[in-house]
Amino acid sequence: GVITDILDTIKLTFGLDVEKYLLTLSDALGVAWGPEQEKEITDEVLMTWDEVRKLRKEGMDVESHTHTHRVLTTLGDTELRQELTGSKKVLEEQLDAPVRALAYPVSLSIAKHGHILEAVKEAGYDLGFSTSCGLGPLGPKTHPLDIQRFWVDPTLPHSYFRAALAVPQLTYRRR
């Protein structure tokens, strides 16, 4: 549908000016959109820094998911560095703790993207996680910046979860 097309455009278009795209789209549809509307939505759905700090204090590991959730393969070198370092810097300042790991937006595996792998290393991350192909080969051949995993939803039936652990390849569409 239309929403899928819009999301695909944002997620797959290299060098897209997302803010300009959303403003053009809102003008074409006659829908109010701007910083005020974005803040109102994010305030409703995102955790506050106090809530994040409380999670950390209670023992939850809080790591990076990039600065603005852009798909890393759609970014030039400068934007890529900003996404990786911006998130790490803000989290470390807010949590007063090192940030070592990164979960890639839209479950991107960076196995075939050497320039992204290098940027992730340069930004200071030790671990990188994707979910794009389920649990890949674990062990000595697992790259620490491309660890595959799979999502778990609270509504996932117990039997499906057990099956996914046993044969994770069956739970994912290969890209």
- Check residues 175 and 73 and name the one with the higher pLDDT: 73
Q: Where are the beta strands (DSSP E) in the chain?
A: 101-103, 127-130, 147-148
Task: Choose among 59, 62, 58, 78: nearest CA to 70.
Answer: 78
* Interval 100-139: pLDDT, tens: 999 999 877 888 899 999 999 999 999 999 875 555 555 5
- Check residues 125 and 174 and name the one with the higher pLDDT: 125
Phi/psi for 102 (5° steps) reads -140, 130
Question: For residue 46, is pLDDT > 70?
Answer: yes
Binned at pLDDT 50, 70 and 90, residue 175 comes out as: very low
* Interval 65-102: pLDDT, tens: 999 989 999 999 999 999 999 999 999 999 999 999 99
Q: What is the mean pLDDT of residues 31-56?
A: 91
**pTM for the model:** 0.77
How many percent of the chain have pLDDT more than 90? 53
* Interval 3-14: pLDDT, tens: 899 988 988 899
Question: For residue 140, is pLDDT > 60?
Answer: no
- DSSP one-letter string for 106-142: GG---TT-HHHHHHHHHTT-SEEEE-TTSS---STT-
